[in-house]
Every structure is written in C-alpha cells, then in structure tokens.
Amino acid sequence: MNLEETSFILIKDILLAKRDDYGEIYLIGGYLRDYFLKKINKDLDFVVVQNAARAARNIADKFGGDFYMLDQQRETARSLITIENQPIIVDVALINGANIFEDLKKRDFSINAMAIDLTAPENILDPMDGRRDLQKRRLIPCSDSSFFDDPIRTLRAVRFIQSLSLNYDPQVKQTIIDASENLFNVSAERIRDELCQIFNLPEVNQSLELMVEFKLFTKLFPDLIKLKDIPPRSPHVNDAYKHTMRVVELTRAFMDSIINVPKQYENKFLNDVQLLIGKYKDHLVKFLDKLSDTYLSINSLMVMAALYHDSAKSLIPPLEDRGKVFFPDHAEKSAEIINERMKALAFSNEEIHFVKSIVRYHMSDCLKSVGEGGNPNRSIYHYFQETGYTGVLIGFLHLADLIATYEGTLSPDRWNIALKSVDKILEGWFFQFEAVVSPARLINGNDLIEKFGLQPGRELGHILEQIYEEQAAGTILERNGALDFAKKMIDGK
C-alpha cells in the first residue's frame, strides 16, 4: 500500500526517527478506512509500545502545535498541528493489549480495526476482515461485547452507518438498544463530541431517525418526546414533534447552502431562501469562518437550537386568539430548557449562550416588524440589541420555522414579510453595521452630566439609549442634534 499524503509522510518520519523510544509504531483506524474509500481524513491515530505522550509532544513541538493529554490511564495524547495550512489532529496511544492484534480486536468495528506497521507500510494488518466489510458496506462490531465495553459506540454506530451508508443486521440493532442503557456511564464530554460529529453530517434528519430507531434519542433528548402529544392546531399543519424535525431539516439545509453550491428545490420557499443566501453568500461564509474560531461546530449548534426551539410547548397550556393557537412565552422557556440540556452535555458557556440566544429570539417581534414598512432601521437596531451577532443566523431558523408551520398553506404576503425582514437584517449587519447596528456614539454619559447636571443612573442610561436608537433610525445625525434631543427628553419629564 502506498500512503503518499504529505501529512502522513512527515509525521511517519518524525516517529521513525525516534523509534527506539517508542518501540513498535502502528498507524490504525479511521485514516486507513478513509484511504480505502478514497476520502480525505485529517485525523491520524497511532499506537506505540511505550512513551505515547512523548511521541505526541514531539510531533506538536516539531510543527509548533498544541499538545493535550486525553487519557492519563491509557497514556493517550493529542497533537493539534498545521501542515500546508491544513489543521491536522494526531492522536498517539499505548497498544491496548499484549500486541497489535489484541489491540485491534478490542476496537469498535471491523472497518476501524486495520493497521500498518510504519516500518513495513505495504502490509495491512486486518485480523477482523475490515476491508472486506468496508467493500460490502457492513457495520460489524469487533466482538459481541463491543457496545457494552464502551457504550459511546452506540452513537458511533449512528455516525458510521449514516456517513458511510453501511448496512447492519437486526442483532446489531438490538445490541445497540441494549447497550444504550449504559450510555450515561460515558462522560458527558464524549457524548457531546460524538453528537457534534453526527449533527455535522449531511442529511442530519436521517441520523436523528437512526437515533430514534436505536432508542438513543429518548435518552439524550427526553425533553422533546412529549412534543408528540401536541396535535396540529392552526396555524400548524404538523404535530409539534414533526414540526420540530422539519425545522431541523430546513435549518440545516439553509446552513449547508451557505457553504455549498445551492440546490434547486421544487419548493418555492426553499428556493427563495437560496436566492437570499446567494445575495450575501461571501459575507455569510466569512461570518461562519470567524465563528469557527470560537465554536467547534456551528452546524451542530444550529441543530441543537432547531431541536429545542419549541421544547417548552409541552409544559405550557395553549391559548387561542382569532382561531390560532399559541403558547405564551414558549421561546423564553425553551431557552431555559436548552440551557440545562447543554449543561448536562458539557457544552461550553459560549456555546450554550449562542444556542440560548437563537432559541430565545426566534420569535422576536423585530423579525416581523422589519419587513412591515415604517422605519426598518429602528427595528434592526432593536433586533441586534437583543440578539447580538447570533441575530445573523436566527433569521434562518425563523424562516425554517415559518415554512414548517404552514407548509403549503403559507400565504405569499406572510412569506414575503418574513423574507424581506431577514433580507433587511442581513443587509444591516453586513452593509450598514456602523450606521444602523452599532452607530458611532455622538455623545456619552459625561457629556450629559456636564451639560445638564444629570446624575449617573437609569435615567441617564435611558436617554443615551434613545439617542443611539434615533441615530440608527437616521433622525439624529450630529452631536448638537443629540444634545437637543437629550434636552427635550429632560424637559419633558
């Protein structure tokens, strides 16, 4: 076999240069699997006889990267490096067992239980016939106890079945269901990471269906099951659970359209959103690139927001107004539910805040008022004061929610108002930021204190906020106008 990727060659040479320190050195798992599938994989896993942490640190040092210990007990370490401007993850662990064959037999699935000795890379070690199963697209556990040995493999099964289009037999399904009872014996961090990988795959709804089939969904998202008990009521054409899954599907489709070539849909509403995304595509791509410096997977966070945007409805008695049923304050209460769920899954505070904001404001009044005439800049200012930068993406969840609510009954007028609102919001953020979203401060608190003898406090803050809003609306353009406006507010007490 001939592995010629630059990353592999460079790392192989570094490890072999100090082979006496590490003993036997093997490349294992996913990199080989994807090599046979002719897929790019930027993650390399190695096992050594000894000094695994030293090997990973050496790799990090050679490339000026970062080093982390992942598992002290098994001496598993990670290097995060960059080669040819591409991020590479290199994990090094001790061989699990007396030799490499014992190690491979303890792995999750046959397709991941292949290895090569770096001193003889032409020879494939494949004791579980993983290459055969890969060719036949079969998910075969390495042992009968594989899922029980490490219950996180129940989620990994979802990921591999979906990403590689694998088949599985009924016994595998039943074993996953049985082993899923032990899922929470696994650390929350590992569950979170696996979920993020699943949610980052295309066709996320198929992954969710697999999770339901394997009885994983109920365990991970118990807050959502009761949505099935909320029947379709005007204006909703689907029950609350089906509505949620449709919102997930649409939200993810819109996110994919930002990065990928737009698809052509039979659905007019989806095509309208494609055109809207195209108008701001370059700016949206840069926006997501910047967010990726803070968040590991924006797609996964948007899926979490879509899943939980209506989660509180099962807890709120519905009310009816002019023939339409609504659930008071469900967005705010849903934000609190997702807050607790993401804490339990060990998401970071920044990630929780991001998703909470999207859920909390997906029903913002500004999302409608921006497109209904008047002074849209005033509404845009209010909107971003509420949402911050998350407001750029909330609009897409809002559009998905609207389509999933009405489907074919959505009126052109209602749709055009929503589409225009999101268009104006994106225009405000990307093209009018300094004028509308965050106008330059013509005066500050000290100016008002010196000019009018005001004291620091709520009144002072309220006057300043009103001035900034008027700047955004375009009714105050210079400093004297701001001072005149402040005087009128003070005199009008």
The set of residues, in sequence order, having a beta carbon less than 8 Å from that of 484 and lying 6+ positions away, is: none
The helix/strand count (H/E) of the chain reads as 24, 9
pLDDT tens digits, residue range 151-204? 999 999 999 999 999 999 999 999 999 999 999 999 999 999 999 999 999 999
More confident residue, 43 or 154: 154
For domain 6-137, say whether CATH 3.30.460.10 is its number.
Answer: yes
Q: From CA 15, how far away is CA 68, in angstroms rounded?
A: 18
Segments making up each domain of the chain, as ranges: 6-137, 144-220, 221-369+391-420, 445-491
The pLDDT score that the predictor gives to residue 1 is 46
pLDDT per position as a tens digit, 301-353: 999 999 999 999 999 999 988 888 889 999 999 999 999 999 999 999 999 99
| Residue 440, pLDDT above cutoff 90 | no
- Percent over 70 (pLDDT), the chain: 99
CA distance 367 to 385: 13
Residues sharing a CB contact under 8 Å with residue 446, sequence separation 6 or more, in sequence order: none
The pLDDT value recorded for residue 231 is 94
Quote the pLDDT of residue 4: 54
Mean pLDDT value of segment 39-53: 93
Question: DSSP string covering 349-365, please?
Answer: HHHHHHHHHHHHHTT-T
Q: For 356-409, write each residue's pLDDT tens digit.
A: 999 999 999 888 778 676 788 888 998 999 999 999 999 999 999 999 999 999
In 3D space, the residue among 167, 152, 242, 241 whose CA is nearest the CA of residue 198 turns out to be 152
Give me 111's structure tokens: 């397709």
Q: Which comes out higher in pLDDT, residue 63 or 86? A: 63
H/E stretch holding 115 reads: strand 115-117
What confidence tens digit (pLDDT) does each residue in 66-84 have?
A: 999 988 888 999 999 998 8
pLDDT for position 458:
86
- Average pLDDT rounded to a whole number, residues 201-212: 96
The rounded percent of the chain whose pLDDT value lies above 90 is 74
Q: Dump pLDDT digits (tens) for 272-296.
A: 999 999 999 999 999 999 998 777 7
Residues 6+ apart with CB under 8 A from 254: 273, 277, 396, 399, 400
Determine how β-strand 86-94 pairs with β-strand 115-117. unpaired
Is residue 271 within 8 Å of 265, Cβ to Cβ? yes
Say whether pLDDT at 455 is over 50.
yes
Say what the pLDDT of residue 490 is.
86
Q: What is the mean pLDDT of the chain?
A: 92
pLDDT at residue number 5: 78
Query: Residue 2 above 60 pLDDT?
Result: no
**pLDDT over threshold 90, residue 493:** no
| 39 contacts 130 by C-beta, under 8 angstroms | no
Cα torsion angle, 387, 208, 256, 193, sign: positive
Task: Report the range of poorest mean pLDDT among 93-97, 153-157, 440-444.
Answer: 440-444
Phi, psi of 36 (to 5 degrees): -70, -25
Do the domains 6-137 and 144-220 sit in the same CATH topology, yes or no?
no
What's the pLDDT at 29?
Answer: 87
Angle between helices 445-452 and 458-473 (to 10 degrees): 110
- Integer Cα distance of 459 and 289 in angstroms: 40
Pick the CATH number of 144-220 from 3.30.70.20, 3.40.190.10, 1.10.287.130, 1.10.110.30: 1.10.110.30
Question: Which residue did the predictor score with more confidence, 245 or 87?
Answer: 245
